[in-house]
Amino acid sequence: MLSAMARQEAAENIAAAAETLYVDIPAGAALARTIRQRLRSGAYDRQTDPTSFAAALTSDLRSAVSDLHLRVAYEPHRDVSTGPAQAAGSPGGARMMTRIDGRGASEIARTNFGFDRVERLEGNVGYLKLSRLVPPDLSRATAEAALAFLANTDAVILDLRGVPGGSPELVRLLLGHFVREPLKLLTTYDRPSGTTEEIWTPQGPAGRLAGVPLYVLQDRTTASAAEMLAYIVQRRNLGTVVGETSRGAGNGGNMIDVGSRLSFFLPQRRVTDGPGWEGSGVRPDVPSSAADALSVAHRAALGLRRTAALPVD
């Protein structure tokens, strides 16, 4: 049960963080104004259940600014090892976290770090199904093993249908396997620091899958960092996106601990090269229903596979 003081502290921490850190300054002011007005009006006076309180805050934030990333979550079982790392510069007791996934490391491991299936389809077409983009500090070994399995295929289908997002760092790692030289993927602007950052593929040897036709599957629930991957594949001509228009959650951010095991996801970064996908989603190169996307991509891959090297006499 949340006390009145706990509710007030969390709401004020959310308002202050939005006001000073949200990626769009006028929108951040609107978020802060909305939460403070709702607090003063007594809208949260009966919200003693933390889950209901988090839902009410999320609803109010999204009513003020249409940003699908805005959310408040109650995380009673949050792994303290993934909790607050440093003061974020946000007022009050709000502290930035180093992760956006409230699950503990052991729970994430039991999902195989989001790597659901890897297999070789008919015609030597590789297939990789993901359920979440887990940061490489946890998922690197599994990711590298999956990509090694696909190294000798003639085309690759990367299935992001239903993926709600996750780690941009895993996006970098995955795409690094499909390029021969380091490639700039995106440029982003970060409001807290007032700086822009270029996101590149990791330094290292040429990707084992460079030159292999790549197909990315998405649906209307594909979001956030998963959309980032599809967007980059399109803009950098790395492959073909198949399926439905994605969800449209384009502003990146971090979880902020606002007290009482309530966490606030606050978008603080936006893409500055190209239109991005905030609000609009990534439109597929080849439209298809979600159910048919795999068969559509597989048929296309069978017709456009890596040319096998001819034997030398």
Q: 158 and 293: one domain?
A: yes
Q: 92 and 117: one domain?
A: no
Q: 126 and 242: one domain?
A: yes
What's the domain range around 200? 111-246+281-303
Q: 134 and 198: one domain?
A: yes
Q: Which residue has the tokens 């380091």?
A: 182
Q: 71 and 131: one domain?
A: no
**Is 239 within the bounds of a domain?**
yes
Q: 10 and 86: one domain?
A: yes
pTM: 0.86
Q: 20 and 44: one domain?
A: yes
d(CA 70, CA 286): 30
Q: 64 and 120: one domain?
A: no
Query: Residue 17 pLDDT > 70, yes or no?
Result: yes
Q: Which residue has the tokens 């999320």?
A: 58
- With beta carbons less than 8 A apart as the criterion, state whether 114 and 130 touch: yes
Write out the two tokens for 230: 């599809």
**Is 205 within the bounds of a domain?**
yes
β-bridge partners, 265: 71, 255
Assign residue 114 a region (left: φ > 0; alpha: ψ between -120 and 50; beta: otherwise). Answer: left
CATH number at residue 193: 3.90.226.10
**Is 254 within the bounds of a domain?**
no
Q: 153 and 298: one domain?
A: yes
Q: What pLDDT, on the 0 to 100 scale, is given for residue 251?
A: 95
Domain boundary among 68, 97, 126: 97
Q: What pLDDT, on the 0 to 100 scale, is given for residue 85?
A: 36
Percent of the chain with pLDDT over 90: 82
Q: What is the DSSP letter of 76?
A: T
Write out the two tokens for 157: 């289908």
Strands 240-243 and 214-218 come out as parallel
Q: 93 and 116: one domain?
A: no
**Is 266 within the bounds of a domain?**
no
Residue 80 CA, distance from chain mean position: 22
Which of these, 195, 213, 190, lies nearest to 307 by C-alpha position?
213
Q: What is the DSSP letter of 133?
A: B
Q: How far are the Cα atoms of 99, 104, 114, 202, 220 from residue 107, in angstroms, in the given order?
A: 15, 5, 11, 27, 26
> Exposed/middle/buried for 8, CB within 10 Å: 0-12, 13-18, 19+?
middle
Q: Per-residue pLDDT tens for 190-234?
A: 999 999 999 999 977 668 899 999 999 999 999 999 999 999 999
Which of these, 261, 200, 278, 283, lies nearest to 22 by C-alpha position?
278
d(CA 34, CA 18): 11
Q: What pLDDT, on the 0 to 100 scale, is given for residue 81?
A: 43
Domain total in the chain:
2
> Exposed/middle/buried for 98, CB within 10 Å: 0-12, 13-18, 19+?
middle
Q: Cβ neighbours of residue 100 under 8 Å, at least 6 residues apart?
A: 165, 166, 253, 254, 255, 265
The band of 306, judged by pLDDT with boundaries at 50, 70 and 90, is low
Q: 118 and 225: one domain?
A: yes
Which of these, 237, 225, 215, 238, lies nearest to 277 by C-alpha position?
225
Query: Residue 91 pLDDT > 70, yes or no?
Result: no
Query: Residue 86 pLDDT > 90, yes or no?
Result: no
Q: What pLDDT, on the 0 to 100 scale, is given for residue 106?
A: 87
Q: 8 and 79: one domain?
A: yes
Strands 214-218 and 195-200 come out as unpaired
Q: What pLDDT, on the 0 to 100 scale, is given for residue 24?
A: 95
Higher pLDDT, 89 or 257: 257
Mean pLDDT of the 2-17 span: 97
Query: Residue 127 pLDDT > 70, yes or no?
Result: yes
Which of these ranges, 54-58, 274-278, 307-311, has the smallest mean pLDDT? 307-311
The band of 94, judged by pLDDT with boundaries at 50, 70 and 90, is low
d(CA 274, CA 268): 18
d(CA 257, CA 262): 6
Single-letter residue type at 201: T
The band of 304, judged by pLDDT with boundaries at 50, 70 and 90, is confident
